[in-house]
Structure 1
Amino acid sequence: MQCEKLEFEHKNILYERLKKVDTPIAEYSFANLFLFRRIHDYEVIMDKEVFIKGKSVDGYTFLMPTTNISQIDMEYLRSISREVDFIFPIDEQWLQYFGDNIIYSNFEGETDYIYTVDKISTYKGRKLHKKRNLLKQFLRDYSFECHPLTDKNVHDAFEILDVWQNEIDLSPEETDFYACQEALNMHDELVLCGLIYYVEGEPAGFIMGEELNTETFVIHFAKGKKNIKGIYQFIYNDFAKRLPKKYNYLNFEQDLGKTALRIAKSSYVPDIMYKKFRVKML
């Protein structure tokens, strides 16, 4: 068994493997694993199969498969998983492959918020009337430009990120500031794509993500300047409208058990709360 700290060089091993897993769970993305490798203390385990070993938000150790569970020998998985607290993140559809001799649970803060692209691109319905109103106010009050996020304008995204960090009452260590910084620096290498927005000629917000599977696009980062009313409602709406038509869903990732994130993500009324299960094989 070979065990190594997860680094960018592991992209050659992991990128395509994770794509083939074909799940809307946000962690099944090399960019996600790489950008949050320090927070979760990710390691790559190369044995008969390839796994990611990590630490959960509440301090437990886990083993993450990088192949669809249906293709892994269960006795082998039972044996190798004895080294950790549980196997995670497991799609609910995969539980059937484990058999009966398991204990499984899910931690609410790890659940992904998933919305239809149609919902975010229209803000239809009574529950989203506040989002529609903020969008209308933004479009009425501001002139804007939108450009693909590239090396030529990424310096403006860094400016937005710095302003965003200074505007919130948390240290960079308590936010995704450093992960977002690295994502901006390595957007091409990590196969991330995004848009940057200018309001009244000044950098105002950006959004960045990637394809998770054939019908789901995951948003890794979205940052906007607080003084521009409706900036987030506009960014999400505009981005959803510009997505290729093949995508039916947007994954806004988890809330990590943080109240502010839960309130913000819930306010867009998710269509699916996609649970990720922790499985202990007995």
Structure 2
Amino acid sequence: MFKNNITLKDQALFEKYICSYPYKTSGLTFTSLFMWRHLNEFKYEIIHDFLCISGINHLNMNYKEFFVLPPLSIKEYNTHKLSLAIDEIKNRFEEIGHPFNIKLLPKHMIETFKKANPNLNFTPDAANFDYVYLAEDLIGLKGRKLHSKKNHFNYFMRNTPHKYVSLTDQLIEDCLRLNTRLLESKDYTSLEAHLIDLEQMAVYEALKNRKALGAYGGAILINDQVEAFTLGAKLDEETMVVHIEKANTKFRGLYQAINQQFCNHSCIDVTYVNREEDMGLPNLKKAKESYRPIKMIEKYDGTFNK
């Protein structure tokens, strides 16, 4: 819907907007937007001084859902200009024959958007709520609520010779091979296979460009082979977002280990760890809830009455 592709050269422009206002959500970071730009076909334009980003949701197998992310402002929002931007974006939707749809709007921004256009309706998008944890909880795994996690972690540490290392350029191909191995044991539809190829591209882009993105990564080697890896980037001074986490489930406790080790090495200077959303997937929801989040970052869809 918009015309400009997102490239690494746009990082300074995007962070000028992203870092000047407390959006607090994992999806509104340059790392996330950059790595998922192919899957979601992200494009952007500056409209009435707002950074506006359009995308296409391919996760529904029956149709493509066109959307925009919340227009991003430098510092405080000017509701008059925001109203003009919303009107312009609404016209763009009408031109392509799709209904206006804002996704990933943080709950604390709803009132600002209502002031800009009272005709907007907002509905919670629970599948995209971010799970946020205390970093010290993920490092220490203390207390009854994390007892089972600590048991799996201790089992792995005692029984599986391994080495935790920071990600290097030399490990990228090994990480991608692990990701491929984890996928090969399952059967997929043609659409799912296409999305998986795009996910592989996203993982590769994030790993390859981790230094430019200011991201942190780690891997666990077993018998000198990568069996788990992860990548995160700071949302702000107090929050780390975990964008990627992969592990071979054949090793009991490996998921708990890569989580704990990454936090122990890379999250000691933050208060919170944002582990993103569950996408409405029951198993992922169960896994994220099992770590007992301290809070959820609620996100909403914004639409107009039909």
TM over 0.5: yes
Compute the displacement of 1:10 (Å). 2.7
Deviation at 1:6, TM superposition (A): 3.0
* Structure 2: distance between partners of 1:168 and 1:190: 32
Shift of 1:48: 2.4
Contact 1:149 1:195 in 2 (8 A): yes
Aligned equivalents of 1:25, 1:195: Cα separation in 2: 23
1:53/1:69 CA distance change after superposition, 3 Å: farther
> Which of 272, 278, 288 is the equivalent residue of 1:255?
278
Give the Cα separation in 2 of the matches to 1:158 and 1:108.
Answer: 30
Letter in 1 for 2:87: S
Aligned pairs for 1:158-237 (under 5 A) are: 158-170=176-188, 172-175=193-196, 176-237=199-260
The alpha carbon displacement at 1:172 in A equals 4.5
Number of residue equivalences: 282
Measured in 1, the distance between the counterparts of 2:114 and 2:48 equals 21
Any conservation in 1 of the 2:138–2:259 contact (CA below 8 Å)? yes
SS of equivalent residue, structure 2 residue 257: helix
Paired with 2:240 and 2:181, the residues of 1 have a C-alpha distance of 26
Distance, in Å, in 2 between the alignment partners of 1:256 and 1:265 is: 11
For 1:65, give the aligned amino acid: P
- Partner letter of residue 185 of structure 1? K
Q: 1:114 aligns with which of 132, 136, 144?
A: 132
1:78 deviates by 3.4
- Cα distance between partner residues in 2 of 1:54 and 1:42: 5
Which residue of the partner structure matches residue 48 of structure 2?
Answer: 48
Q: Residues of 2 paired with 1:68 and 1:274: CA distance? A: 21
**Cα shift at 1:63:** 3.9
* C-alpha contact 1:148 1:196 (8 A) present in aligned 2: yes
Q: Show CA shifts across 1:176-195 (max 9, x none).
A: 33311222232223332201
Match of 2:288 in 1: 265
Amino acid paired to 1:54 = G
Secondary structure of 1:38 counterpart: coil
Offset, 1:75: 2.5
Cα distance in 2, alignment partners of residues 32 and 191 from structure 1: 12
Q: What TM-score comes out, normalization by structure 1 length?
A: 0.89
Identity %: 22
* Cα deviations by residue, 1:155-212 (Å, 9 ceiling, x for unpaired): 3222322222224454543443331122223222333220111124332211101001
1:61 to 64, 67, 86: 67
For 1:195 and 1:24, locate their aligned partners in 2 and report how far apart those are by CA, in whole Å.
24
1:154 matched residue in structure 2: 172
The aligned amino acid for 1:71 is Y
- Answering whether residue 142 of structure 2 is matched by residue 124 of structure 1, we say yes
Structure 1: distance between partners of 2:253 and 2:268: 25
- How much does 1:261 deviate? 1.8
Counterpart for residue 141 of structure 1: 159
Unpaired stretches in structure 2, ≥5 consecutive residues: 94-99
**Residue in structure 2 matching 1:74, options 76, 82, 86:** 82
Q: Which residue of 1 aligns with 2:23?
A: 23
The verdict on how the C-alpha distance between 1:52 and 1:14 changes in structure 2, with shifts beyond 3 A counting, is same
State the Cα RMSD in Å: 2.4
TM-score (norm 2): 0.82
Q: Secondary structure at the match of 1:257?
A: coil
1:133: how far off?
A: 0.8
Residues 148 and 46 of structure 1, relative CA distance in 2, 3 Å threshold: same
Q: Which amino acid aligns with 1:195?
A: G
Distance change >3 Å, CA 109–CA 155, structure 1 → 2? same
Instruction: State the match for 2:105 in structure 1.
Output: 90
User: Does the 8 Å contact 2:54/2:68 carry over to 1?
Assistant: yes
Structure 1: stretches of 5+ with no match in the other structure: none
* Structure 2: distance between partners of 1:47 and 1:166: 44
